[in-house]
């Protein structure tokens, strides 16, 4: 009700582990996606991270609802949660985006790493053609915009959309020989260091590989200070 009243999105994690799935079923009597549906966390406003352990019935429910599944492959592997069946979710009509989860269970929060891993982890099970680079790039861009309810404003380059743009420098040796599909090059070979410029609504925030909005050294110092403060508060330091 609040999300509708304030035109806001809903987000939580779902079906990340077997234990979580079993716990929800035992305590509520419902499969996890059905339970979330029963309390209103469903539909185009909702984005559910992980969904590693959804079954066929839940997949169909997600597709019917228009709920977005946010795939976080690095986190799922680091925590040994499993591998979400993303090709099957897409084939069923589910909306899917690529995410990175949180820093403690991912470390890098690197969309390039997530794209590459998302493409690779499906191939041993389904073959080399599973989740091709173009589809992965769309999940990381337009898919993410859909998860935020902003697909009409960002997520792709189109007339009338905001000028949220990333410019890559493709001159580094690891991106050569630059032959074949440029999208494949971005998904499988590019990384954060290749980001030359970033524009948000046409305003530059990164130019020539340098952050221009705030001093990066200040951000690093503040991050270290906050981390140390959290450790002390948790009696870990």
Residue 233 burial (CB count, 10 A): 9
Work out the average pLDDT over 104-126: 96
Q: Which two tokens stand for residue 71?
A: 């795939």
Q: Tokens at residue 133, please? A: 């680079």
Do 38 and 130 lie in one domain? The reply is yes
Per-residue pLDDT at 9: 94
Angle between helical axes of 182-189 and 133-140 (0-180°, round to 10): 70
Q: How far is CA 91 from CA 56, 85, 96, 145, in A?
A: 12, 10, 11, 20
Residue 48 tokens, joined: 């559910």
Report residue 78's pLDDT band, with 50, 70 and 90 as the boundaries. Answer: very high
Look at residue 4 in the predicted model and tell me its pLDDT: 86
110 and 170 in a single domain? The answer is no
pLDDT of 104 higher than 90: no
Give the domain extent around 172. Answer: 163-237
Quote the pLDDT of residue 190.
98
Domain count, the chain: 2
Q: Tell me the torsion sign for CA atoms 13, 14, 19, 23.
A: positive
Q: Is the pLDDT of residue 1 over 80?
A: no
Tell me the CA distances in angstroms from 25 to 15, 29, 132, 213, 225, one per residue in order. Answer: 11, 5, 34, 47, 41
Between CA 232 and CA 133 the distance in angstroms is 43
Task: Pick the more confident residue, 236 or 28.
Answer: 28
Q: Are residues 143 and 189 in the same domain?
A: no
d(CA 186, CA 74): 18
Domain final residue pick, 123, 156, 189 = 156
pLDDT 10s digits, 29-58:
999 999 999 999 999 999 999 999 999 999
More confident residue, 237 or 3: 3
Q: Tally the residues of the chain.
A: 237
Instruction: Give the pLDDT confidence of 174-222 residue by residue, as tens digits.
Output: 999 988 899 999 999 999 999 999 999 999 999 999 999 999 999 999 9
């Amino acid at each position: 009700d609040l999300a509708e009243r304030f035109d806001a999105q809903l987000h939580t994690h779902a079906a990340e582990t077997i234990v979580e799935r079993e716990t929800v079923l035992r305590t509520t009597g419902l499969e996890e996606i059905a339970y979330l549906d029963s309390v209103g966390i469903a539909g185009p406003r909702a984005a559910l991270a992980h969904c590693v352990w959804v079954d066929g019935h839940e997949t169909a429910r997600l597709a019917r609802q228009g709920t977005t599944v946010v795939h976080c492959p690095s986190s799922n592997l680091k925590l040994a949660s499993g591998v979400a069946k993303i090709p099957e979710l897409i084939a069923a009509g589910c909306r899917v985006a690529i995410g990175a989860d949180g820093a403690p269970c991912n470390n890098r929060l690197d969309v390039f790493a997530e794209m590459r891993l998302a493409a690779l982890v499906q191939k041993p099970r389904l073959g080399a053609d599973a989740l091709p680079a173009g589809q992965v790039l769309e999940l990381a861009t337009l898919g993410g915009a859909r998860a935020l309810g902003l697909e009409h404003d960002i997520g792709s380059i189109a007339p009338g959309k905001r000028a949220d743009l990333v410019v890559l420098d493709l001159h580094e040796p690891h991106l050569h020989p630059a032959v074949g599909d440029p999208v494949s090059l971005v998904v499988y070979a590019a990384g954060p260091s290749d980001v030359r410029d970033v524009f948000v609504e046409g305003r530059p925030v990164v130019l020539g590989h340098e952050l221009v909005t705030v001093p990066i050294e200040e951000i690093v110092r503040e991050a270290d200070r906050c981390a140390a403060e959290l450790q002390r508060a948790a009696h870990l330091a």
